[in-house]
Amino acid sequence: MSTHSNHFKGIGKITYEGTKSSNPLAFRWYDENKIVAGKTMKEHLRFACAYWHSFCGNGGDPFGEPTHIFGWNDIPDAVDRAKAKMDVAFEFMAKLSLPFYCFHDVDVVDFTDDVADNEKRLQALTAYALQHQKESGIQLLWGTANLFSHRRYMNGAATNPDFQALAHGAAQVKAAMDATIALGGQNYVFWGGREGYMSLLNTNMKREQEHLARFLQVARDYARGQGFKGKFFIEPKPCEPTKHQYDYDCATVIGFLRAHDLLNDFSLNIEVNHATLAGHTFQHELQVAADAGLLGSIDANRGDYQNGWDTDQFPNNINELAEAMLIILEAGGFGGGGINFDAKIRRNSTDPEDLFHAHIGGMDTFARALLVADAILQDGEYTKIRSDRYASYDHGDGKAFEEGKLTLADLRNIAAGKGEPAVKSGRQEYLENLVNRFI
Ligand code: XUL
Ligand code: CO
């Protein structure tokens, strides 16, 4: 139990102290019970800790050995080792008042190549997690299966040309769904890390994508059959580790879901650094999902302007997040999801406090962004400028066009009859200043 762990000794419960505080182990903006636009900050933001980065990542990188050394890794028995890690995870989440967590199957307990043994291990840890959840009130935002680390997935999981690899992926998904359901998990995520290709020369793209769709259908049917009422999320990412990933970005995934009749059960989990890797802004991806009614959840992090890979740094960009929260608030919030910190502390961040500073910074930046976005919407000028820009479609010929009442020839006659449109500013700089005025 969390009370059995004292990994973060000397660090107590993190509380809200307000903006005058310079205490690095306090919230300056995140006041979980503060009401904003009719809901508490806690209800709006639904923060979650990502088990994999915070308790499995060891600081190692392609050039260097681990720098984050965890005592529990020395425990020889896999289940005992996993329980010790879980005690620390719940100690951390409780100290930060994080309401949710997220995991992959193999984050929770180490797997071998034995399907039945892996199921038993995960069941043991599911029972243990359930005790922790009951004691702490912390809930599972989503579960998922890691179908990308094991060597059998080197050519993909659901899109593997070898059916036996696909079957192993399904076995993992089944067990991860059982765990998610047993833990009252609110959602289930699919991130297709290796569902794509390294070279088109050896790839039948059409067949692979059909296999992916069939895989998602059977997974959905299984979970629904077990009584799962939550959402399934697809997490788009354009590449890395593959050259090209089929879930490239939100628009691509929406087309895929529509083509395979999956729109009723699936929505999107949007990650900041995945958006930027796809050549989009985070805001763009949010807007695409929101416009389709598919904004489910987000994986919060940030990339690096100079690096073209998924650096998964903790979020700290207030402008980016204020604009993001504007879209999220206007969409009516998350569709069942929340804000999962899919972010890791740097290799050279080696103090126990670093994990707290990282999460506190991320939570405070989102809380501040929520306040900024709410103030902008309350003020109303932003919304008015945006809607006024389209006013010519609110009446007369423009309205008739929107309603499908005009032909191409009608449009031609309007152009000829009414002459050139007036020159109207898009006022981008004005709007950029408006956002900054509220920060
Ligand atoms: C990888 C990534 C994953 C998913 C879950 O880039 O984002 O951690 O969030 O599999
Ligand atoms: Co992610």
Q: Which residue has the higher pLDDT, 3 or 330?
A: 330
235: Cβ below 6 Å to ligand 1? yes
Residue 50 inside a domain? The answer is: yes
Q: Residue 2: is its pLDDT beyond 90?
A: no
Q: Is 394 found in the same domain as 343?
A: no
pLDDT one-digit tens code per residue, 339-370 = 999 999 999 999 999 999 999 999 999 999 99
* Average pLDDT score over residue span 101-117: 98
Q: What is the pLDDT of residue 311?
A: 96
144: Cβ below 6 Å to ligand 1? yes
191: Cβ below 6 Å to ligand 1? yes
CB atoms within 10 A of CB 51: 20
DSSP element (H, E) containing 295: strand 295-300
For 296, the 3-state DSSP assignment is: strand
* Average pLDDT score over residue span 133-160: 98
Ligand 1 center–CA 192 separation, angstroms: 8
Q: Which residue from 237, 248, 339, 341 has its CB within 8 A of the most atoms of ligand 1, so it is best to mutate?
A: 237
| Nearest by Cα to 235 from 179, 181, 275, 293 | 275
Catalytically annotated residue among 31, 87, 105, 107: 107
Domain housing 430: 384-438
Residue nearest to atom 10 of ligand 1 (CA): 191
Residue 390 inside a domain? The answer is: yes
Residue 134 inside a domain? The answer is: yes
Residue nearest to atom 3 of ligand 1 (CA): 191
Contact call for residues 105 and 175 (beta carbons, < 8 A): yes
State the DSSP code for 63.
T
Q: Exposed, middle or buried by CB within 10 Å (0-12, 13-18, 19+), for 325?
A: buried
Q: What is the pLDDT of residue 267?
A: 98
Ligand 1 center–CA 191 separation, angstroms: 6
- Portion of the chain with pLDDT greater than 90, in percent: 98
Domain endpoint, select from 379, 399, 428: 379
Helix 318-330, helix 428-437: angle, nearest 10:
100
Rounded to 5°, the CA angle 340-344-350 comes to 140
pLDDT one-digit tens code per residue, 16-47 = 999 999 999 999 999 999 999 999 999 999 99
For 220, the 3-state DSSP assignment is: helix
Q: Is 356 found in the same domain as 341?
A: yes
Domain endpoint, select from 337, 357, 379: 379
Q: Name, in order, each residue with C-beta under 8 angstroms of 224's C-beta and a sequence gap of 6 or more.
A: 265
For 186, the 3-state DSSP assignment is: coil
Q: Is 239 found in the same domain as 213?
A: yes
| Nearest by Cα to 192 from 122, 141, 254, 242 | 242
* Average pLDDT score over residue span 309-313: 96
Q: Is 227 found in the same domain as 137?
A: yes
312: Cβ below 6 Å to ligand 1? no
As for how many domains the chain has, the answer is 2
Q: Residue 95: is its pLDDT beyond 80?
A: yes
Position 379, amino acid: D
Residue 4 inside a domain? The answer is: no
Q: Exposed, middle or buried by CB within 10 Å (0-12, 13-18, 19+), for 107?
A: buried
Nearest bound ligand to CA 300? 2
Residue nearest to atom 8 of ligand 1 (CA): 342
Q: Residue 4: is its pLDDT beyond 80?
A: no
pLDDT one-digit tens code per residue, 181-219 = 999 999 999 999 999 999 999 999 999 999 999 999 999
276: Cβ below 6 Å to ligand 1? no
Q: What is the pLDDT of residue 376?
A: 98
Contact call for residues 197 and 204 (beta carbons, < 8 A): no
Name the token pair of 74.
């020395």
Catalytic residue check, 68:
no
Catalytic residue check, 104:
yes
**What are the phi and psi torsion angles at 324 (to 5°)?**
-65, -45
249: Cβ below 6 Å to ligand 1? no
Question: Residue 340 is part of a domain; what is its CATH number?
Answer: 3.20.20.150
Ligand 1 center–CA 26 separation, angstroms: 28
Q: Which residue from 271, 313, 344 has its CB within 8 A of the most atoms of ligand 1, so it is best to mutate?
A: 271
Q: Is 269 found in the same domain as 336?
A: yes
pLDDT one-digit tens code per residue, 57-77 = 999 999 999 999 999 999 999
Q: Is 391 found in the same domain as 368?
A: no
For 144, the 3-state DSSP assignment is: strand
End-to-end Cα separation, the chain, in angstroms: 41
Q: What is the pLDDT of residue 146?
A: 98
Domain endpoint, select from 331, 352, 379: 379
State the DSSP code for 1.
-
Name the pLDDT band for 3 (thresholds 50, 70, 90).
low
Mean pLDDT for the chain?
97
Q: Is 355 found in the same domain as 393?
A: no
Q: Is 52 found in the same domain as 107?
A: yes
Nearest bound ligand to CA 189? 1
Q: Is 136 found in the same domain as 40?
A: yes
Residue 11 inside a domain? The answer is: no
Residue spans of alpha helices (H) in 201-271: 205-225, 250-259
pLDDT one-digit tens code per residue, 227-281 = 999 999 999 999 999 999 999 999 999 999 999 999 999 999 999 999 999 999 9
Nearest bound ligand to CA 172? 1
CA dist., res. 340 & res. 96, Å (int)? 14
Q: Is 346 found in the same domain as 204?
A: yes
For 19, the 3-state DSSP assignment is: coil
